[in-house]
Amino acid sequence: MMKKTMAMFFTIMLAVSLVGVAYGLWSETLVINGKVYTGEVDAEWTVGEGWDTEIPGKDYSNITGYVTDGGKVLVVEVKNAYPCIDYYLPVDINNTGTIPWIIQNITVDFSNLPEGTEISFAPDPELNPDIAIGVQVHPNQEAYGLLHVHLNNNATELTTYTFTVTVTVWQWNEYLMVYPPLPNDGAE
């Protein structure tokens, strides 16, 4: 009886071992290797030649612009200026990155300008994308703008006015839409 018990024990052990081997042959580990390539948000200014509304023969002042900090900072100078003249400077913001971006914010540093100076971007007459909040620009394209500067009667003599324009761009899918407030319908 002892032999039968031992034979049965070894038979059961052999069966369990074979099931274990069979189970091991039915399992497999899969590995997925991947690469993620991220894009780049990048923008640079370019500046054209400026002009003003002085009459011929009386053209004494001018507007110029240049970029610094690797194309990131637009510096504008109005030299030999006097009141009630309109100055224009064509500028572009180029998408030099690899993904689209949207203009989130436009800021002008008015600290070196006379009080009441008006600065705006006129739209492009050829209907290209304008420099304006909410405009989306794709890689290798640009937003066009005509910077308009108007000095009022607070402009002082013997002064060169210098200011900077900062434009913040965000990747297209993270743009924060800014909606105007809803009109008050009288409800509280």
pLDDT in tens, 82-138: 888 899 999 999 999 999 999 988 889 989 999 889 999 887 777 678 888 889 999
User: Nearest CA to 167 among 86, 54, 83, 67?
Assistant: 67
For 26-65, what is each residue's pLDDT tens digit? 667 888 888 888 889 999 999 999 999 988 888 888 999 9
Three-state SS letters, 68-102: ECCCCEEEEEEECCCCCCEEEEEEEEEECCCCCEE
